[in-house]
């Protein structure tokens, strides 16, 4: 565990060290977040990893996902998705505490209790009684604490991330009360990962078809989605084109 802790501290400290240099490159004129250029110093490596990920996806993951989507009826797919989402409620609870969002933290643990007791998490009864799901993670907690995103990275098999979010994922892996207390946590991690892949299957198909540069497109979509979780008026603050007479 000590070894793991050292690794976590190293990653987090590198993220913090990046903060000042990265802000220097960011355009803060439109919103707090830059859309012009994403800090991507290891682009050639990232591109190679993305190609590798697509290769693995094509030969192994995509066929499994397509078969699963073909076989599993809609309610089963939804139930599995709810199950894995419910397993993340305890770590969301902790993450909200770090962000000082105590109401949301209470909501998360309430959702976990209700959904686990009524259906092992396969049915989201809590939403029906007004306890809506709030997405968050440790990457968001770090961002709200002022940590900059750091360089963009593509993780083998897992996909797009950045140093801050990846650090958050690593911390989560070790402090998550669920995955730390179940036997064969690897299976849970694989199941959760596959479920996330199922959820983005259609979007990924569209990226394959509609993009001139899928690397840039995926990077941009990743940052836009993360920014949406960070900025209150995200849609309003997105940059728009200057108006020309048509």
Partner 1 sequence: MRRFLFILSIIFSFSTIEASEVSEWFEKESNQFLEIINNNEGTESESYEKYKYFVNKNFAVKSIAYGLIGESIINESSENELSLYLNVFTDYLITTIYKLANSSNSSSITLRDVDIKDDIYIIKSEISDKKTSANLYWKVIDTGSSFKIIDVIVENTSYFVTKKSEFNKILRKNRGSLKALIKEIQKI
Select from 21, 51, 118, 225 the one that contacts partner 1 (CB under 8 A): 225
Q: Contacts with partner 1 in 27-46 (CB under 8 A)?
A: 35-38
> Is residue 71 a contact point for partner 1 (CB under 8 A)?
no
Tell me how many residues contact partner 1 (CB under 8 A).
Answer: 33
Residues 203-222, one symbol each (x = binds partner 1 by CB under 8 A, - = not), give --xx--xxxxx--xx-xxx-
3-state SS assignment for residue 92: helix
161: which strand partners? 153
Tokens of 126: 């809590």
Instruction: Report how far residue 9's alpha carbon sits from residue 98's, in angstroms, rounded to the nearest whole number.
Output: 17
CB closer to partner 1, 112 vs 152: 152
Tell me, rounded to whole angstroms, the distance of Cα 193 from its chain centroid: 11
**Closest Cα to residue 121, out of 198, 225, 203, 191?**
191
Distance between CA 161 and CA 154 in Å, rounded? 6
Work out how close the CB of 189 gets to partner 1 at its nearest, in angstroms, rounded to a whole number: 25
Select from 13, 25, 67, 224 the one that contacts partner 1 (CB under 8 A).
Answer: 224
Q: Which residues bind partner 1 (CB under 8 A)?
A: 35-38, 74, 205-206, 209-213, 216-217, 219-221, 224-225, 227-228, 234-236, 238-246
């Amino acid at each position: 565990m000590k070894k793991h802790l050292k690794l976590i501290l190293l990653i987090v400290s590198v993220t913090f060290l990046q903060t000042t240099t990265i802000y220097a490159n960011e355009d803060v004129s439109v919103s707090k977040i830059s859309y012009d250029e994403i800090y991507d110093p290891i682009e050639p490596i990232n591109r190679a990893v993305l190609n590798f990920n697509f290769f693995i996806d094509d030969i192994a993951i995509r066929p499994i996902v397509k078969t699963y989507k073909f076989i599993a009826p809609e309610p089963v797919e939804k139930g599995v998705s709810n199950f894995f989402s419910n397993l993340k409620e305890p770590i969301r609870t902790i993450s909200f505490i770090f962000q000082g969002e105590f109401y949301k933290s209470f909501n998360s643990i309430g959702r976990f209790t209700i959904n686990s007791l009524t259906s092992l998490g396969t049915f989201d009864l809590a939403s029906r009684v007004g306890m809506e799901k709030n997405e968050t993670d440790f990457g968001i907690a770090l961002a709200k604490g002022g940590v900059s995103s750091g360089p963009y990275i593509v993780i083998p098999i897992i996909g797009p991330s950045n140093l801050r979010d990846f650090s958050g994922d690593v911390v989560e892996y070790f402090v998550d009360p669920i995955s730390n207390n179940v036997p064969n946590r690897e299976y849970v991690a694989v199941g959760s990962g596959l479920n996330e892949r199922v959820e983005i299957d259609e979007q990924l198909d569209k990226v394959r078809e509609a993009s001139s540069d899928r690397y840039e497109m995926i990077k941009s979509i990743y940052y836009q989605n993360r920014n949406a979780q960070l900025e209150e008026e995200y849609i309003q603050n997105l940059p728009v084109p200057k108006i020309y007479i048509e």
